[in-house]
Every structure is written in structure tokens, then in C-alpha cells.
Structure 1
């Protein structure tokens, strides 16, 4: 029995030592790899900055940034994400010149799963249209990670032909929140607003087929579309929002309409009083906010009532709208007379340094 216990203890000790040694070796290997990367990064930064400053041309820069492409991927990724305008175009030209695009196109087709994912992200960031045939195939992949990066990549490239195909996919996937859905779709660029406008005119306003085509409730699709209109300040979209801007319509859609109108700062020919008395506090608050943004007249009485609303945001935006519509004396009178709404009136005036 003692022999068995001794043997078992020896095996356990051996395994523990083996694990510890493995961790140490792995740690040392990573440190060596990181040190090598940091040394290389300094050299790359030197030549990249010279290139962006036009001290060397793209051919010279490409010769200096043409070693291990996976290391280079980690180095170049922040610049692709954060640079805009001419500098971004220069980075695109550089990675094409030094062979990165070709390398990752090959990995997208023949690489391991992890390499395909990295390739899809990179090729999307550099807006490489040659990647589109494979990315479109991967939209039907059983691998959700590969499918997801392909969706983002196609959106980054801005391939409008695939907009509605991607829309149908992301609307049905519970892993995409509303905020992520919006972020994906706005990456297609402002021109997608015209596509959405045409789609809605044909499939909602002439004959309502939204749920049949997209496979989700009508309000989800409209909320998403109206958000995109708002993000791009697409004023023709207001004509599509106005017909459903009625108190009886879905609350979510009304909320997204008002949020979009606030971004556009665009007045509509509607009586907003019915929305100030809406049973949804978000609708009430966003309506008050919108009134302040467009400096609309005729709602002072309703706004004074809403300063005493049960919801803080309704009270805040109502007081804020009174201020923005030029009725500062009303807020001062509420404070002086110690009427209901005094606290919020004081808060809004102080917030605006008045």
C-alpha cells in the first residue's frame, strides 16, 4: 500500500514540476517574442512616420515594412483604426505595396480558422474589394466567429450590394445588440441611406412586406433604419418618418424617430403636444428635448407641467427646452416663487452657468 502511495505521490510531483516548467518556458518564450516585437516596432515606427511625413516614398517604406506579416498586422492595426483622410489612404497604399494584402488574401482562402479571422479583419480595414467573394461565402459559415468578422469586413469595405443580405442575418442573430446592429450598418457609408429610402418606399409605404422580407417585427426594422437616417443627418428620411409619427404607433419607433430628429435638428409639421402627454416617459423626454433643439414655439404651458413629471429625464429636458426656447424668465420665476419644479429649474440654470 505504501509503495502505491509513494508511486502516486511521485507521479503527482512529477506532473506538478512539469506544469511549472511548461509555464516558465511559455512565459520566457512570450517575453522573448514581445521583446523582439517591441524592437521591430521601433524600427517600423521610424520609417512609417517618415513615410507619412513624405520624407520617403511608398516603395522605400514598403521595403522597410515587409518582414513577418502577422507581427506587422499587430503594428499597423491601430493606424488603420484611427487614421483618417490622406494618412489612411497612405497606409492603404503602403500595405498593398509591401504585399500584405496579397498575403492575407491567401490566408483568407487557405489559412487556419484563426488566420482567416485575422485576414478578414485586416482586409476589411484596408477596404480590399478582392476579398468580397470569399467574405460573401463566409456569411453562410457555421463558424460564428468567421461569419461575424466577415460581416464587419464587408461593412467596412462598404459593399452595398450585400447590405440587405447582411441585414437579414444580423437582425435574426440574438448575439447582436441594437447598438452593434447600428454600428455595423452605418459602416456601409452614407450612400446606404438612399438604398434604405428606396427599400422602404417599395416594401413599407406602398405594400407593407417588412416582416416577410426581413423576418423580424416591423418596429425593429424601422427603428434601425431611422437610426441610420439620424446618424447621417439624412433629411430626405424625415418624409419617411413623418407618416408613422403618431401617438398610437409603436413606442420604440417613436423614440428612435425623435432621437434622429434631434440629431438632424430638423422641424416637422406636427403637433407635438400629444407626444408630451404620451404614456411612455422616454417619448415625453425625447419630445421635450426635440422642442428645445429646434426652438419650437407654442409648448411652454405643457413644458411647465412636465417640470413636475415623475421621471427625472422628463423634468430635465422640459426645463432645458424652456431655457432653449428663450423662456429663461419662466425658470427664474419658478425659482423665485418657489413653485413646483424649482429644484430642476435651478439645476438647469446652473448647468448652463446662468
Structure 2
């Protein structure tokens, strides 16, 4: 009986050793295979990157060879995606043909319909990068998704493939259900090439404060003066977010000398919300006239420190007249205004060599005198 037990133990021990050795060899072979695959992939990738870079730089077709194996095709496709922003439409078309375009389109269409959300998002992104127009019907369906990331990637791909053709569809979708943040929506709209003033005009007529705010800011980003009439109207909007977007649009448009337009904007210098007043001060860095200086002299006394800060920065941008105003404010009875004026002037003198930039000798002497008096007062 004892002998049987001993044999059984030895047998079990040998089986365990065999299993462990087998697992070890399996893991070792897998590790070796993985290393070799990585090394092989790196070599192939470097080769394709080099040939594709040469093709982009010289348009030498002979530098490109058709990928044959599965790994080569996969790496070639990834490389094309990587460099897609440097390729024009004809170059992309030729590269797609090297990959057997129909098979590639079918592959991406299958992935777009995948139940795996990550595979779907990657496929949608890839479709945009290589410009596959055949997937547009599927993309329009995906716009109705409640997945915020998917809606953003789909919108981006639709714009890359079709430019402004589906822009209104995209804007209408993102106005519902808080699906996208305003900065992301603005970035999408600004991707569109060409004139979109007609679309912005339609958007401004929609009953959507979210889309109205986006359009107002785009008017400024693209410097469309057609937005002036809407900015004048929206400075009186009850929502501060819309009033701020109107001011952002005005900041983008810059110094436009239209009296009614400027007067409408300046009404916001006494807005009940300090965030709005801050953007008025930022706007007045660009609108340089006596009325701006007068408004800033009042705003630098604002109870909110950030409004005062931006008003001081705006005054120094008003040239010598703004500088005179800041120097005079050093004698102001308003502590806030006096301190902010001194802070701005001191910074300009230390970091931007203000004294050397002043051409008017009298103004320079006045600044030096006021500076000396202020420093004595501090001591």
C-alpha cells in the first residue's frame, strides 16, 4: 500500500513538472513571438513611413509598393491614417487603391455597424481621415446617438468628408440634450472650409440660445462683419452667456467704427454680471478712441477685481491717451483705481521698458514724477 502511494506521489509530481515545463515553454514562445512581431512591425512601419514621406515630399509614385500580407496591409493603413492630414484627395485615392479600396470600405462599414462602441468610434474616425464618402448614410444615423464622444467624432468625420453639406444637421443635433460643450461645437464649425455666412444667418434665426451663442462667436473668429447686426441685437439678451458670446464675437471683429454698434456694446460696461463687464474691458483693448478711454476710467473703479484688472490692461493698450489716463489715476481718490493704475504702470516699466517707448517728453517726465511720488507714498 505504501509503495502504491509513493508511486502515485511520484506520478503526480512528474505530471506537475511536465505541466509547468509546458506552460513555461508556451509563455516563452509567446514572448519570443511577440518580440519578433514587434520587431518585424517596427521594420515594416519604418519602411512605409519612409516611402510615404518621400511620396508626400516628391509625389514619386514609384516609391510606393503594394502591401501584400495582412500585417503589411494593417501597418500601411495605419501609416496612411497617421499622415492623412498631409495628403490631398488624389493622393488618398491612390493609396486607397493600393489597399484594395472596396475591401477597405467594406471593412470600415462593418466596423461602423459593430456593437463594440470603441471599434465603432475608431472606424468613424478612420473614415474621416481617409475621406470615405460611402459611409455618410451610416454617419447620419449615428448623429442621433446619446454617446457624446460618438456624436463628436461622427460630426467631425461628416465635416471632413462633406465640408458644410451636413453642418446644419450637426448643429440641430448638438443643440438637443446637452450632447456637446460649446467650445467643442465651435471647433467643429470652424473646421468647415469656405464661406458659411448663410448657414450662420439661418442659425441666428433659430430659437436656440446655444446655437445663437456659437454663431455669434464664429462671426468673430472668422471676422464676418455680417454678424454686426446680430451682435447689436444680442447684447440685450436676458442670458449673460449670450451677451458674453456677443462680446466675444465683437472682440474677434476688432475695431469697427460704427457708432450705433459701439454704443450698444458699451451699454454692457455697467452690466449686472461681472463676467460680462470683464469681456467689455477685453473688447476695449481693441477699440481705441476717447469713448473707450472714458468707459475704462469708470471700469477701473469697478468693485470686482477682475474687471479692474482687465480695465487697467485695456487702458495701457489705448496708446499715449490711455497712458495719460493711467498716470492721472495715480492721484485718484478711489483706492481700487489708484492701486490698479500703479500695478499696470509698474509692470509696463519693469518688464516692457515703458519709459523708453514714450516719445512725448512731457508725458515721460509726468510719469517719472508721479512714479516717484507714488513710491515715496508707499515708503
TM-score range, shorter chain: 0.7 to 0.9
Mapped partners of 2:309, 2:273: distance in 1: 16
CA contact (8 A) 1:315 1:344 kept: no
Match of 2:293 among 296, 300, 320: 300
Deviations 1:289-336 (A, max 9, x none): 212212233132331232243444322321222122222232244458
Mapped partners of 1:233, 1:346: distance in 2: 34
Residues 46/273 of structure 1: CA separation in 2 closer, same or farther (3 Å cut): closer
Mapped partners of 2:274, 2:29: distance in 1: 59
Q: In the alignment, is residue 163 of structure 1 matched against residue 167 of structure 2?
A: yes
Instruction: State the match for 1:63 in structure 2.
Output: 65
Mapped partners of 2:145, 2:24: distance in 1: 39
Query: Which structure 2 residues correspond to residues 206-221 of structure 1 after superposition, within 5 A?
Result: 210=207, 218-221=208-211
Mapped partners of 1:174, 1:52: distance in 2: 41
Match of 2:262 among 270, 285, 289: 270
Shift of 1:25: 7.9
Q: In the alignment, is residue 127 of structure 1 matched against residue 119 of structure 2?
A: no
Deviations 1:51-72 (A, max 9, x none): 1221622xx3442567644323
Instruction: State the match for 2:241 in structure 1.
Output: 252
Instruction: Please give the TM-score of this superposition, normalised by the length of structure 2.
Output: 0.71
User: Please, which runs of 5 or more residues in structure 1 have no aligned partner?
Assistant: 1-16, 205-209, 211-217
Mapped partners of 2:232, 2:44: distance in 1: 57
Shift of 1:154: 0.5
CA contact (8 A) 1:292 1:320 kept: yes
Mapped partners of 2:68, 2:178: distance in 1: 41
Match of 2:39 among 30, 35, 39: 35
Instruction: State the match for 2:347 in structure 1.
Output: 347
Deviations 1:171-215 (A, max 9, x none): 224452221122223223343332121343xx45xxxxx1xxxxx
Match of 2:121 among 101, 117, 123: 117
Mapped partners of 1:305, 1:21: distance in 2: 81
CA contact (8 A) 1:105 1:119 kept: no
CA contact (8 A) 1:295 1:325 kept: yes
SS in 2 for 1:299: helix
Instruction: Please give the TM-score of this superposition, normalised by the length of structure 1.
Output: 0.75
Q: Tell which structure's C-alpha radius of gyration is larger.
A: 2
Q: In the alignment, is residue 225 of structure 1 matched against residue 227 of structure 2?
A: no
Deviations 1:117-162 (A, max 9, x none): 3332122123332331232233345776655532221022234342
SS in 1 for 2:286: helix
Shift of 1:234: 1.8
Query: Which structure 2 residues correspond to residues 69-108 of structure 1 after superposition, within 5 A?
Result: 69-81=73-85, 83=86, 87-89=87-89, 91-99=91-99, 101-108=101-108
Mapped partners of 1:23, 1:297: distance in 2: 79
Shift of 1:226: 1.2
Deviations 1:204-237 (A, max 9, x none): 5xxxxx1xxxxxxx32221111122222222212
Deviations 1:240-268 (A, max 9, x none): 2222223x632111111111211121525
Mapped partners of 2:24, 2:262: distance in 1: 72
CA contact (8 A) 1:108 1:134 kept: no
